[in-house]
Structure 1
């Protein structure tokens, strides 16, 4: 009966191991990014009583005869289910979930690891980290420019809370709107229509230090031309000085469309230590001159220095900062990694995986490219454990355990009967 007992004991051990896998799945039903496991059994080595015979002319063939040689069943494999879990909105912008394939790349004291759990936060130095303090990896922007994989090796992502955006000097100014063509008959540099001053359009520009400078774009001397159009003198000054920083003549057809003089070159001088002279182009292509009332507005490029006030994370993993100067700029991009065989990854705890000999090497890329999934900011991926399936598996394992225990009980009873028969 020893063979029967050993077979039943192997069954007990196998079912107990299965219950261990099931209990771990159930325990992690609310663990962010957890991937459930399943176990399969394998029949163990059999004792061969007869290897079987081939048919002959006088006798048919016989099949092999095998019985359990002791342990009848063992663990065949423990497989990880890498299917995606549901996404849960958290509203925390540093929380991230991957929609599709891929893993976040994490730098730990023991090297790179990979995770589906995006429960990230910023530490005191602005570094994007896991709950254990490990670094989230990606590409840092250079002067607001991201080139992703072509930029080189990944590095820890940092979002400094006091990050500054360098100022940008103005290189172009535009004046848009309409000049009242009827004023051409008056030939007056101070004529007004509907309360709008013809000759003075204030525009704020910025020097190389980001300091604002107010310019006046003056339109004067409106005169009629031979083609029934109009001609205007354009002069740009920096009040209170009346010295022209640039001037020109802009001409319009009888339909009010601009015909010449659409740009004026300006040369700004400064005494505050900024780069000088500052070359600026005045663009007048947005002007018309017809019978409508005068209405003018000016815009300029450039901006002052700004301080980071907020940031967002896009589906492509790009972290974009919003600055106090109203500008936006790329700060970094989160990287993702994938493997030829994700089921071959080694679970090292804390929602982390490491590559193994059978997973293949990590292929790192940008979210949304090369088969990698996209990122949802403000969300977390839930566990993919199905409680219903786990309870069904648990009932099956329990029944298997009870059946093997019953076999042991019956075998013991048979042994007792045999002993009592031999030695009454």
Structure 2
């Protein structure tokens, strides 16, 4: 009886499903977080009767086959890159991308990562950095005695220095886009990494066709829909219970068969 193994794969699949949902709920308030959805696929089938097999010498054939599946397996976690809501803050270095695109971050090992979290600050050298101290690329150095910084929707960074009435342009922020954003690898700390599945990063200017714009003084909220996640959690729990019930039923049937033999 294959039901024991089949139901066990179903329980493992629902465990993975619950793990993904729990991670979504845990990050409901994480800036720039994108929710994930567990994807599954059925396992191979054992064919006991072939479709189209001849059933008589007169040429009649079987319209359907007898194929028994062996369960389910995880196929991946699909990241849903929909736009999160923008929340206004009081920090001039808080930035949000409204539309497509990722901020580029230089990591200490010389590699680059990408993020939707624009919760930036200045370090001791006046550089714009993430909350982990990683430099935002391209590097920006805010002059001393800067009264305020203005960042346009197109990423142009200007500073009001000393008593100047006119701002001084000090840099240009850029964004990165990918052909397959869902193929990026999550690293934690609100960072993503390009992979062969995502394709190479394309560096673009905010506001270009098909590219988002930058909103200064805003942060992008998580796109997690709590109500939908709770609904999915209940559904996963029920599916897990049904797979468990299948194991119990198969076990009872085996016990009955053993009793008949004895």
Q: Same fold (TM over 0.5)?
A: yes
Relative to structure 1, is the Cα distance of residues 160 and 24 closer, same or farther in structure 2, using a 3 angstrom cutoff? Answer: same
Matches within 5 A, 1:335-374: 335-374=174-213
Structure 2's unaligned 5+ residue stretches are none
Given that 1:54 and 1:61 are in contact with CA atoms closer than 8 Å, whether structure 2 keeps it comes out as yes
The answer for the alignment partner of 1:124 in structure 2 is 124
Structure 1: which 4+ aligned runs deviate by more than 4 Å? 54-57
The answer for the alignment partner of 2:149 in structure 1 is 311
Task: Report deviation, 1:109.
Answer: 2.0
The answer for the alignment partner of 1:82 in structure 2 is 81
Task: Report deviation, 1:328.
Answer: 1.7
- SS of residue matched to 2:97: strand
1:197-250 Cα offsets, whole Å, 9 max, x none, are xxxxxxxxxxxxxxxxxxxxxxxxxxxxxxxxxxxxxxxxxxxxxxxxxxxxxx
The answer for the alignment partner of 1:247 in structure 2 is none
The answer for the alignment partner of 2:65 in structure 1 is 64
Say if 2:160 is the partner of 1:161.
no
The answer for the alignment partner of 2:19 in structure 1 is 20
Which of 381, 399, 409 is the aligned partner of 2:238? 399
Task: Report deviation, 1:54.
Answer: 4.9
The answer for the alignment partner of 1:134 in structure 2 is 134
Task: Report deviation, 1:329.
Answer: 1.1
Task: Normalising by structure 1, report the TM-score.
Answer: 0.59
C-alpha distance in 1, partners of 2:67/2:167? 75
* Larger RCO: 1 or 2 (CA < 8 Å, sep 6+): 2
Task: Report deviation, 1:370.
Answer: 4.0
- SS of residue matched to 1:49: strand
Matches within 5 A, 1:80-119: 80-110=79-109, 111-119=111-119
- SS of residue matched to 1:409: helix
Task: Normalising by structure 2, report the TM-score.
Answer: 0.94
Query: Number of matched residues?
Result: 258
C-alpha distance in 1, partners of 2:172/2:97? 14
Task: Report deviation, 1:161.
Answer: 2.4
**Higher Cα radius of gyration:** 1
- SS of residue matched to 2:92: coil
Task: Report deviation, 1:421.
Answer: 2.2
Given that 1:127 and 1:160 are in contact with CA atoms closer than 8 Å, whether structure 2 keeps it comes out as no
C-alpha distance in 2, partners of 1:399/1:368? 46
Task: Report deviation, 1:13.
Answer: 0.4
The answer for the alignment partner of 1:34 in structure 2 is 33
Task: Report deviation, 1:57.
Answer: 7.4
- SS of residue matched to 2:141: coil
Given that 1:125 and 1:160 are in contact with CA atoms closer than 8 Å, whether structure 2 keeps it comes out as no
C-alpha distance in 2, partners of 1:364/1:66? 50
1:183-207 Cα offsets, whole Å, 9 max, x none, are xxxxxxxxxxxxxxxxxxxxxxxxx
Which of 328, 332, 347 is the aligned partner of 2:167? 328
Larger strand fraction of residues = 1
The answer for the alignment partner of 1:232 in structure 2 is none
Larger helix fraction of residues = 2
Given that 1:38 and 1:80 are in contact with CA atoms closer than 8 Å, whether structure 2 keeps it comes out as yes
- SS of residue matched to 1:29: coil
1:64-94 Cα offsets, whole Å, 9 max, x none, are 22113xx411113321100110000012000
1:138-163 Cα offsets, whole Å, 9 max, x none, are 2xxxxxxxxxxxxxxxxx2111324x
C-alpha distance in 2, partners of 1:352/1:368? 22
Structure 1's unaligned 5+ residue stretches are 139-155, 163-307
